[in-house]
């Protein structure tokens, strides 16, 4: 898939890795109506290329500061209409990206705020630079969360802690974000890009069917009882055992070598 870009969003899919980059650093990678539509297009095309892993990141010193407040303010008494038009494509894209049957990694190259929290945390694995800071920001401007921010943050830190983070809108640095479970790893700014690429490459080389089943089991666990969950585990394991990747994995284990899942 050739590289594409539109309205501050870049995307491509090569070597089994889909990449979506927020590329509007002069406006803190904020999202307006055009950016939301471009992001939705990026998600559709990247997932349509059937990658083995997806990377979401940004350029500059900020991952995403949230919605474009200047654009909202310019809507005057039509702010609600403008927000609705922006959210309609964005929410569908975030849902599709979050539920994709491949691992999704968000690499937070800098500060995160507002709707950027939803984008950041919709991924399966979230890594951050040491200089990253997260600020919810909604209450400070009289708004409430969007883009899945409250859903994903509450799922990671619990409802009570998430409420406090939203109520107070205070910056949370990378180390506290790691301690709270908001992010999964923090890397020195100098090593950040290399660590990101190594992680995504490792996931892309893994057994895609296995990761998809793991994702399905873990993401839906809250909605299932133990018996239902164990029955689903059994069914998915039997499916997996019939695939070439299982043969390769078992053979590689016995031969004491690295499995070559990408060839199966």
Indicate if 233 and 181 belong to the same structural domain.
no
Give the chain's radius of gyration (CA, Å).
Answer: 19
Q: Please tell me whether the overall predicted TM-score, pTM, comes out greater than 0.85 for this model.
A: yes
Rounded CA separation 49/33 (Å): 25
Rounded CA separation 186/175 (Å): 7
Indicate if 126 and 257 belong to the same structural domain.
no
Indicate if 114 and 234 belong to the same structural domain.
no
Indicate if 195 and 72 belong to the same structural domain.
yes
> End-to-end CA distance of the chain, in Å?
21
The continuous run of DSSP H or E covering 29 comes out as none
Angle between helices 226-241 and 208-219 (to 10 degrees): 170
Indicate if 127 and 186 belong to the same structural domain.
yes
pLDDT by residue, tens only, the chain of 264 residues: 778 999 999 999 999 999 999 999 999 999 999 999 999 999 999 999 999 999 999 999 999 999 988 888 777 768 888 889 999 999 999 999 999 999 999 999 999 999 999 999 999 999 999 999 999 999 999 999 999 999 999 999 999 999 999 999 999 999 999 999 999 999 999 999 999 999 999 999 999 999 999 999 999 999 999 999 999 999 999 999 999 999 999 999 999 999 999 765
225: containing domain: 208-263
Indicate if 111 and 223 belong to the same structural domain.
no
Indicate if 61 and 186 belong to the same structural domain.
yes
């Amino acid at each position: 898939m050739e590289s594409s870009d539109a309205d501050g969003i870049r995307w491509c899919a090569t070597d089994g890795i889909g990449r979506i980059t927020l590329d509007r650093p002069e406006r803190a990678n904020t999202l307006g109506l055009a950016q939301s539509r471009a992001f939705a297009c990026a998600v559709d095309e990247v997932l349509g290329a059937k990658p083995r892993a997806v990377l979401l990141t940004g350029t500059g010193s900020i991952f995403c500061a949230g919605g474009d407040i200047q654009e909202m303010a310019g809507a005057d008494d039509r702010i609600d209409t403008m927000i609705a038009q922006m959210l309609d494509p964005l929410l569908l894209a975030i849902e599709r990206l979050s539920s994709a049957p491949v691992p999704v990694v968000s690499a937070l190259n800098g500060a995160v705020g507002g709707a950027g929290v939803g984008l950041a945390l919709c991924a399966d694995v979230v890594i951050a630079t040491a200089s990253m800071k997260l600020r919810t920001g909604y209450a400070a401007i009289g708004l409430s969360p969007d883009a899945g921010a409250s859903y994903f943050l509450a799922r990671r830190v619990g409802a009570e802690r998430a409420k406090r983070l939203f109520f107070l809108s205070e910056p949370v640095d990378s180390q506290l974000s790691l301690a709270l479970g908001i992010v999964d790893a923090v890397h020195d700014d100098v090593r950040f890009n290399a660590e990101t690429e190594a992680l995504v490459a490792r996931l892309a080389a893994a057994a895609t069917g296995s990761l998809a089943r793991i994702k399905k089991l873990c993401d839906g666990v809250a909605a299932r009882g133990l018996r239902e969950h164990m029955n689903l585990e059994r069914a998915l394991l039997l499916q997996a055992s019939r695939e070439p990747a299982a043969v390769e994995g078992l053979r590689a284990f016995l031969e004491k070598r690295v499995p070559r899942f990408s060839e199966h």
